[in-house]
Amino acid sequence: MLRNGIHHSNEISLAECMEDNNGGLLYRGALYVLEDNDLWLRLLKEHHDKLSAGHPGRAKTLELLNREYYWPQIRRYVDQYVRNCNVCTRSKAPRNAPYGVLHPMPIPDGPWMDVSMNFVTDLPESDEHNAILVVVDRLTKMRHLIPMTKEADSREVARLYIDNVWKLHGLLNTIVSDRGTQFVAEF
């Protein structure tokens, strides 16, 4: 992955890239998302449209997205997306209004006590993997990227989690996942 594509882009310098333990590509600590409009759209929906996101403005949407993901021209993509968002255009309410209704996540007690789990799917296939399980420690922001297949069921995901995260960091309190809370029951 490092060799293909990266040095064709003039926005990214190799010095700012590193591979994580599982061979995922990190750019300035964020997961580099290959050019894939469907995937970009999905990530935008997750970071802008979802109830927990609450239709933040352009800058905030970009900031949220940049915490975990990066791709060239990401700013322009976000600008365009938010400008064309139906809900944002229709709503006359202040952009940050939904924040007040949500309870903020409690601050974790220690490292690897509370993690968030996301699935990046529809990646170009490599070594029989076509998805990445992204596990982020909510306190330290340390992350593990675990190659997987998007067909994996929750049992398999639990197995991946145990092998790749639990063995290193041990028990935890909560997992926030974009597939809901189904995995908590498996541990």
Cα dihedral across residues 174, 47, 68, 161: positive or negative: positive
> Smaller CB distance to Zn ion: residue 20 or 49?
49
Q: Shortest distance, CB of residue 183 to Zn ion, whole angstroms?
A: 29
Residue 161 burial by CB count (10 A; 0-12/13-18/19+): exposed, middle or buried? Answer: buried
The nearest distance, CB 47 to Zn ion, in angstroms, is 11
Triad 165, 167, 172: Cα angle to 5°: 65
- Our CB check for Zn ion shows the closer of 88 and 135 to be 88
CB of 51 to Zn ion, least distance (A): 12
> Which residues are CB-contacts of 139 (< 8 A; sequence separation ≥ 6)?
107, 108, 110, 111, 112, 113, 114
Residues that bind Zn ion in the complex, under the rule CB under 5 A: 55, 85, 87-88
Closest separation in Å from C-beta 104 to Zn ion = 20
List, in order, residues 6 or more apart from 108 with CB less than 8 Å away.
114, 137, 138, 139, 173
Nearer to Zn ion, 91 or 182 (CB): 91
Instruction: List residues bridging with 30 in a β-sheet.
Output: 27
Judged by beta carbon, residue 75 or residue 150, the one nearer Zn ion is: 75
